[in-house]
Amino acid sequence: MPRLRRVGGFLATILALTTLNFLLPRLMPGDPIDALLAQSSSNFTLGAGGREALEEYYELDRPLVEQYGSYLAGLARGDLGRSISSHVPVAEELQRRLPWTLLLIGTSLLLSTVIGVLAGVQSGWRRGRRLDRALLTTLLSVREFPTFLLGSLLLLLFAVKLDWLPLAGQQTAFLTDAGIVERVVDIGRHLLLPALVLAVGLTAGSYLLMRASMVNELGADYLLLGRAKGLRERRLKYRYAARNALLPVVSLTSLQLGFAVTGDVLIERVFSYRGIGSLIFESIGSRDYPAVQGAFLVVSVSVVTVNALADTLYRRIDPRTR
């Protein structure tokens, strides 16, 4: 019965997100036709009655309820519509961009979790000492640094001044004849700076939680017993204390995904990284309803699904939550 309730809650959440994905773009000022008819737009359209014809073509003249029904019917068929600004099917555009966003977010989450957990273990085990104070001050200070400013400074230093890393994009254009190793290295060089900047804002959360969990474990009976038995400090720290303190980080990592998605939009804009984040930014600017709906749907469903999986994993790891 509890499992059925969780599944029902998950499906209800997906339905609510689907509805919000439809409504929110339409609550923004302006509409796609205004963007198409704008004098500054490359899609500037002339002719009397042009607006009415475009509204009819894109079915924007229909009542909102009918548009919503058509939207749900399209989702049931796996059809996310066609982009108004690029005239490309939204599903095709998402399929092309999604792997790059997954690579960026996955790499940054991995970096932030590993660094945060290792730093939290060391800091919590040496609470109040010089290393603890240094790590706490450094990571909290770095977290407050504006992401766009940090990204711009790193680009200026490593891409412009030193010319060590690429300036923009996710891979070198027209690198089709290169071998697999050369292409992996090229993608890694493009990925390094955006993943690092995105991870900087996420590391402090994992660090603080891991540090607090380690501090809570310091006076545990099993540590006292282990010391009485003569176990080495390294074994007590990593095999026992860190292992037990790691449980809350499982839940936090799933929550971090939401923050990573939010930061991804800005990071992709700064580094001209053409993933889902840049698609969201571009489609909001052009009021491209199908593209906004498709991008937000993929992002929101992914976040909810990962959180549900993390909750299930946490229940299996820690029997006390069952």
Sign of CA pseudo-dihedral 304, 305, 306, 312: positive
- Claim to verify: residue 119 and residue 224 sit in the same structural domain: yes
Q: Return the pLDDT at 319.
A: 54
| One domain, residues 207 and 252 | yes
Within a domain: residue 320? no
Tell me the C-alpha distance between 113 and 250, whole Å. 10
Largest CA distance in the chain: 89
Reading the block at residue 157, the tokens are: 């230093």
Whether residue 102 is found in the same domain as residue 190? yes
Residue 68 has pLDDT above 80, yes or no: yes
Phi, psi of 116 (to 5 degrees): -65, -40
Average of per-residue pLDDT across 47-60: 72
Q: Determine, yes or no, domain membership for 287.
A: no
What is the rounded CA–CA span in Å between residue 149 and residue 155?
A: 10
Residues 56, 169, single domain; the answer is no
Give mean pLDDT, residues 62-79: 85
Mind listing the pLDDT tens digit for each residue in 113-168? 899 888 888 888 888 888 888 888 888 888 888 888 888 888 888 888 888 888 88
pLDDT at 107: 92
Q: Are residues 30 and 125 in the same domain?
A: no
Q: How big is the chain by its Cα radius of gyration, in Å? A: 24
The rounded distance, in Å, linking the Cα atoms of 22 and 74 is 12
Q: What pLDDT shows up at residue 47?
A: 56
pLDDT at 307 over 60: yes
164, 244: one domain: yes
| Identity of residue 40 | S
Verify that 34 and 102 share a domain, yes or no: no
- For 209, counting Cβ atoms within 10 Å of its Cβ (0-12 exposed, 13-18 middle, 19+ buried), the class is buried
First-residue to last-residue Cα distance in the chain: 13
Average pLDDT, the chain: 81
Please state which of the ranges 54-68, 142-156, 306-320 shows the lowest mean pLDDT: 306-320
253 and 178 inside one domain: yes
Domains identified in the chain, total number = 2
Residue of higher predicted confidence among 241 and 92: 92
pLDDT tens for 199-224 read 988 888 888 888 888 888 777 777 77
Percentage of the chain surpassing pLDDT 90?
Answer: 3
Q: Which residue has the tokens 């890694």?
A: 188
- Residue 222 domain-assigned? yes
- Identify the weakest region by mean pLDDT among 77-86, 88-97, 227-236: 227-236
Verify that 61 and 160 share a domain, yes or no. no
Please report whether residue 305 resides in a domain.
no
Domain that holds residue 185: 98-274
Spatial separation of the C-alpha atoms in residues 292 and 286, rounded to whole Å: 10
Residue 314 lies in a domain: no
Most confident of 38-42, 247-251, 291-295, 312-316: 291-295
154 in any annotated domain: yes
